[in-house]
Amino acid sequence: MSLWTSESIIRYSQEGENDFSEEYPCLLTRISLTITKNVSTYTLADDVKSIRRISWQGFKLDPLSQRNMREVFSYATQVGKPYWYVFNNVGANNVRFFPIPDSNISPASGGANLYGSDIKSDVIIEYYRVPDYANYVIPEYFRRRLLKSYVMNMCFAKEGQGQNVKNRDYFRQRWQYLKAKYGIFLDEVHNKPRKLCLNGITSSQFFPAAPVLPVSRFGIGIDDGY
């Protein structure tokens, strides 16, 4: 008979995945909103943890804090093309556009091409989501190794016949080490700005100088008599 049930192992694995994705957001996806004229506030799905960016028919919207919305704009009711959005995931996941939208917009392809042609026609929200342990999971190339450490840590920490403090401490330190290692790696891959152009000479070679005429030709006119 196993010391730990399958249900406990699955629960610990899901806890570890939640823990990692909470500290190092890496599950990125997009949705397309249906916009109704003169309606500024929309409720998003519960899996939205934080918004990375919102584009309004190809135009990037800037985030606006509740405080600035209240103090600077005084909850104004102007109607037009939105330039800002307000998002607060405390309680209901509501996103508010400002100015208030002045047109109706429907997804062009039902969300089938949010990384292509739909960018210019849809209102697209790109966000970090919580894992669902099936389709949206942390990267597969380290998922099993990472979660194994968390599961073993929790199993050996559980009171009962299988409790082992020495093994618990070992796997707890291993879990913390691997979590930081893979988290820093993902931050480098997903969030670190890319350098797409050179801002100086990066090798020992130099660009050629401007051409200079031979010294014997200085001060000599090109026509006779000059």
Residues facing residue 54 across a β-bridge: 61, 125
Question: What is the arithmetic mean of pLDDT over 64-71?
Answer: 83
Residues facing residue 33 across a β-bridge: 123
Confidence of residue 92 (pLDDT cuts 50, 70, 90): confident
Q: How many residues in total does the chain contain?
A: 226
Task: Note the Cα 216 to chain centre separation in Å.
Answer: 64
| One-letter amino acid for residue 98 of the chain | F
pLDDT, tens digit, 9 for 90 and up, residues 187-204: 888 777 666 555 555 554
Instruction: Round to whole Å and give the CA distance between 47 and 175.
Output: 25
pTM of the model: 0.75
pLDDT, tens digit, 9 for 90 and up, residues 135-151: 999 999 999 999 999 99
Higher pLDDT, 19 or 74: 19
Q: Are 35 and 105 in contact (CB under 8 A)?
A: yes
Q: What is the mean pLDDT of the chain?
A: 85
Q: Are 34 and 194 in contact (CB under 8 A)?
A: no
Tokens 């009171």: give the residue.
159
Q: Are 108 and 124 in contact (CB under 8 A)?
A: no
Instruction: Round to whole Å and give the CA distance between 139 and 195.
Output: 25
What are the domain boundaries of the chain?
Answer: 6-20+134-189, 28-129
For residue 16, what is the enclosing H or E element? helix 6-23
Question: What is the arithmetic mean of pLDDT over 151-170?
Answer: 91
pLDDT, tens digit, 9 for 90 and up, residues 5-48: 899 999 999 999 999 999 999 899 999 999 999 999 999 988 89
Does the pLDDT of residue 169 top 80, yes or no?
A: yes
The two tokens of residue 107 are 């997804």
Instruction: Round to whole Å and give the CA distance between 152 and 21.
Output: 19
Does the pLDDT of residue 68 top 90, yes or no?
A: no
